[in-house]
């Protein structure tokens, strides 16, 4: 009789030694990625905030200008939201409301005070007021 089974070799694993408190250390590449996310969040601050094409069009059509000082203040706000774990934030600066993707450090859309009236902001998890 012929054996038609296929055998797949099992990877060789080195024995895992318990650490000082008797627990086995976590395997690399497993878990929720929390350590990676923390390192990534630490690297993000200081990067410039970009304006999406849509946001640029909205700023222009609504006569909103952002000075270099405004952009620095916006970067600081995005850094603060990132450290607190925010992903999509509404940032109110003077007469402007900016919706920002914190992960991408990009202003997604913008509106003036008149456009804010009666508007519902959805898909945001944080807000910053200046």
pLDDT tens sequence across 19-36: 666 665 555 555 556 677
Q: How many domains does the chain have?
A: 1
Let me know if residue 29 belongs to a domain.
Answer: no
The residue with greater pLDDT, 46 or 76, is: 76
Q: What is the pLDDT of residue 65?
A: 93
Let me know if residue 4 belongs to a domain.
Answer: no
Distance CA 125, CA 6 (A): 51
Q: What is the pLDDT of residue 8?
A: 65
Extract the tokens encoding 108: 């997604």
Contact predicate 66/97, CB 8 Å: no
Let me know if residue 66 belongs to a domain.
Answer: yes
Q: What percent of the residues of the chain are helix, what percent strand, and what percent coil, each to the nearest 5? A: 30, 20, 50
Q: What is the pLDDT of residue 125?
A: 95
pLDDT-based confidence at residue 47 (cuts at 50, 70, 90):
confident
Let me know if residue 27 belongs to a domain.
Answer: no
Let me know if residue 94 belongs to a domain.
Answer: yes
Q: What is the pLDDT of residue 117?
A: 85
pLDDT-based confidence at residue 2 (cuts at 50, 70, 90):
low
Its domain, for residue 68, covers 48-128
Let me know if residue 26 belongs to a domain.
Answer: no
CA distance readout (Å), 19 to 16, 23, 26, 93: 9, 6, 10, 51
**Among the listed ranges 16-20, 40-44, 55-59, which one has the minimum average pLDDT value?**
40-44
Let me know if residue 59 belongs to a domain.
Answer: yes
Residue 70 pLDDT > 70: yes
> In whole numbers, what is the pLDDT of the chain averaged over residues?
83
Let me know if residue 96 belongs to a domain.
Answer: yes
Distance CA 31, CA 56 (A): 39
Q: Determine the average pLDDT of the residues in 100-124.
A: 92
């Amino acid at each position: 009789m012929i054996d038609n089974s296929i055998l797949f070799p099992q990877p060789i694993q080195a024995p895992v030694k318990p650490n000082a408190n008797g627990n086995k250390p976590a395997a690399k590449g497993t878990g929720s990625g929390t350590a990676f996310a923390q390192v990534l969040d630490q690297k993000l601050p200081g990067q410039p905030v970009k304006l999406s094409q849509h946001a640029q069009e909205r700023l222009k059509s609504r006569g909103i200008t952002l000075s270099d000082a405004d952009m620095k203040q916006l970067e600081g706000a995005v850094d603060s939201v990132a450290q607190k774990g925010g992903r999509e934030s509404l940032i109110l600066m003077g007469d402007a409301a900016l919706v920002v993707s914190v992960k991408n450090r990009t202003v997604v859309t913008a509106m003036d005070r008149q456009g804010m009236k009666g508007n519902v902001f959805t898909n945001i998890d944080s807000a910053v007021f200046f």
